[in-house]
Structure 1
Amino acid sequence: MNASLNQDARDADDTGLIDEIIRMSDFSFERLPMLDIIGERLADSIALALPDLTGTFCEASLTQLDYVPMAQVTETLPDPVLLAICACPGLHGQILFALDSALVLTALELMLGGSARREAPQTPTSFTGIERGVGKRLALLVARELQRNMAQFGELEIELDRIETDPDSAAIAQPASLCVRLQMTVALAGHTGTLEVILPYDALEPIRPKLSRIHFGGPGEDNSLWRDQLASQIERATVELEAVLTQVQLPIQQIMRWQTGETVDLWIEEDHPATVICADTPMFRAALGKRNNGNTAIRITEALDPEEETPNGCHDH
């Protein structure tokens, strides 16, 4: 019985694969390798930019990139779904973003100052005006990051045109027209939503030659956009610094004999400089002092070269 069911399932899968091959044979197109790179970079950019909007850590990844007819895109959209139609004068057509309810509702709760509940958001039958407004802000963010990642292929400006909830009203190409669909998962506060970016294949005609090349990278290419983005994120990061006055080595027997009130000789003078350490790496020499309010402070006096500094950066006795 089980063997018969397994055989039927395999036959159904084979039939579906054959139908897919026949359907795709009706299209004459070449894959665009650079879109895979753009999709990966777009997911990374969204993961970096979305916390500015929601105030919480975000993870985003490109899960699938496929070439499908517009009719199949419309049929497989989640219900309900927020659809953002964007105009791009540099292309021969519009761009479509699809955001599912889990992504929109989780972002809404976080943007209003709440914390997302552990249980999954209840799927609504339709979106309210506030939810549509949140979806618009998410779409503007995606449009900005997509424009940034596609800037190397031409002067492209992506502008949000309108927000729709009816897939038929948001069709940006004929049902039989081929589209490139980038599907991404976005994790926010323990909840996972989906984001789809749909690009009509014919709309990419002005930049198709650049998208069709195989990219191996190279030191001569201009990656200033990525350097600037990485630099901005590094500047916002926080690190823990330690001001170490000295380090001493003592026998364990002596330490075990210590009692309350014991005095330990550090073998240094009062004006002995401190070493500022970050992640076990000596960074600066500093002089100790006090501020007007009585708090102890340090003044950086010298920048250290980690390769020239001793492992502990201080005296050993």
Structure 2
Amino acid sequence: MVGDDETQGEEELSEEEKAAAAAWEQMADEGDGVAEGEGPVSNRVLDQSEIDSLLGISGGGGGGGGDKPSGIQAILSSALVSYERLPMLEIVFDRLVRMLSTSLRNFTSDNVEVSLDNITAIRFGDYLNSIPLPAMLGVFKAEEWDNYGLIMVDSTLTYSIVDVLLGGRRGTAAMRIEGRPYTTIERNLVERLIAVVLNDLTATFDPLSPVTFRFERLETNPRFAAIARAANAAVLARLRVDMEDRGGRIELLIPYATLEPVRELLLQMFMGEKFGRDSIWETHLSSELWQTDVEIDAVLDEITLPLGDVLNWKPGSRLNLDCTPDSEVELRCGDVQLFKGQMGRRSGKIAVKISDRLMK
């Protein structure tokens, strides 16, 4: 009886295995049907290579070059801005910081320090969405380049400028009142601040390419300050203005389309101050040049002879020069004719008195 039960259990087990195998075959057939557009969707587990492909990770086992991102990685990288670095633009903004520090000290009659936080590239639409409100947006136009730019003054700097210009006491932070629009006085004072910044920005670009930045209008709603399409790339420079215990930020946004007329100039690299010119080095070089020793030849006369006559010269041969004691002597430095003069004596030495200047 025991042997019969074991034989019957083995037969039942084999029937269960056959049923499981039949179920697996049916699921495989349904998967094939999905590939051909037939049957229901199967819940298939992805392997590691398919997961890497979905995430955009270039695996070592797959084929093909991974230069271009794919999958989710391509979606994430599409939001980034691919831009070329403009070395001269960084020098322009560094010079703007130095000039703006002096200009704002004269403007506010206070101790002002301006620093450059960073220079980045951003899409214009992303920047408008990231502006902390309330803020004042000044639209300006580059006259010679026939395009526009944007300058943002945050609320903290707005209240600080109003407080400083209207006689606020030192040692107290500027009062910030939420939930109200900017007053006419605040708008006018910020317009004057923007005019100072644009004036210095014009001066910083002048050695590179003469351009005039003219103030157009002042907006408080970012939607009305749209000067470019949302997908266009732009250069964003963030400036920090500190007035002892007060201050704020100024953000300068210039689209790449605005900088296109001077793009070739901005790609140049100059390591010196003032766009490659260093006044200290120029002064030192000029002073040293004036003290340089130069050899000068006094030419009495010149004649032209055939080469055969020159080769026939022997010891004792004479060469007659057509000059007299009253003839003018020509002074030369190398092949350059400098002066003409009369030969004579001074303090027992042969000297030349300059009578005419040949170098122009």
**TM-score relative to the length of structure 1:** 0.60
1:184 paired residue number: 239
Report the Cα offset of residue 114 of structure 1. Answer: 2.4
Q: Is the 8 A contact 2:238 2:249 kept in 1?
A: yes
Q: Is the 8 A contact 2:173 2:245 kept in 1?
A: no
Is 1:87 paired with 2:87?
no
Q: CA–CA distance in 1 between the matches of 2:133 and 2:275?
A: 46
Q: For the structure 1 residues 137 and 20, does the alpha-carbon distance in structure 2 shift closer, same or farther, using more than 3 Å as the test?
A: farther
Is 1:41 paired with 2:41?
no
Question: 1:30 is aligned with what amino acid?
Answer: E
Identity %: 27
Unaligned runs of 5+ in 1: 1-15, 225-317
Q: For the structure 1 residues 192 and 176, does the alpha-carbon distance in structure 2 shift closer, same or farther, using more than 3 Å as the test?
A: same
1:113 paired residue number: 167
Q: For the structure 1 residues 119 and 219, does the alpha-carbon distance in structure 2 shift closer, same or farther, using more than 3 Å as the test?
A: closer
2:290 paired residue number: none
Question: 2:135 is aligned with what amino acid?
Answer: V
Farther-moved stretch of structure 1 (56-65 vs 32-41): 32-41
1:127-276 alignment, distance < 5 Å: 127-217=182-272, 221-222=276-277
1:58 paired residue number: 112
Q: Is the 8 A contact 2:202 2:211 kept in 1?
A: yes
Q: Is the 8 A contact 1:31 1:212 kept in 2?
A: yes
Report the Cα offset of residue 220 of structure 1. Answer: 9.4
**TM-score relative to the length of structure 2:** 0.54
Q: For the structure 1 residues 106 and 220, does the alpha-carbon distance in structure 2 shift closer, same or farther, using more than 3 Å as the test?
A: closer
1:23 paired residue number: 79
Higher radius of gyration, 1 or 2: 2
Q: For the structure 1 residues 219 and 99, does the alpha-carbon distance in structure 2 shift closer, same or farther, using more than 3 Å as the test?
A: closer
2:178 paired residue number: 124
Larger RCO (alpha carbons 8 Å, 6+ apart): 1
Q: For the structure 1 residues 31 and 119, does the alpha-carbon distance in structure 2 shift closer, same or farther, using more than 3 Å as the test?
A: same
Q: Is the 8 A contact 2:114 2:242 kept in 1?
A: yes
Matched residue SS, 1:153: coil
2:322 paired residue number: none
Q: Is the 8 A contact 1:164 1:170 kept in 2?
A: yes
1:271-310 alignment, distance < 5 Å: none
Higher percent of residues as helix: 2
- Size of the alignment, in residue pairs? 207
Matched residue SS, 2:144: coil
Q: Is the 8 A contact 1:101 1:124 kept in 2?
A: no
Q: CA–CA distance in 2 between the matches of 1:59 and 1:17?
A: 42
C-alpha offsets along residues 77-116 of structure 1, whole Å, 9 cap, x if unaligned?
A: 1211111111111224101110011111111111112224
Matched residue SS, 1:44: helix
Report the Cα offset of residue 57 of structure 1. Answer: 0.3
Q: For the structure 1 residues 20 and 137, does the alpha-carbon distance in structure 2 shift closer, same or farther, using more than 3 Å as the test?
A: farther
Q: CA–CA distance in 1 between the matches of 2:73 and 2:133?
A: 26
Report the Cα offset of residue 23 of structure 1. Answer: 2.2
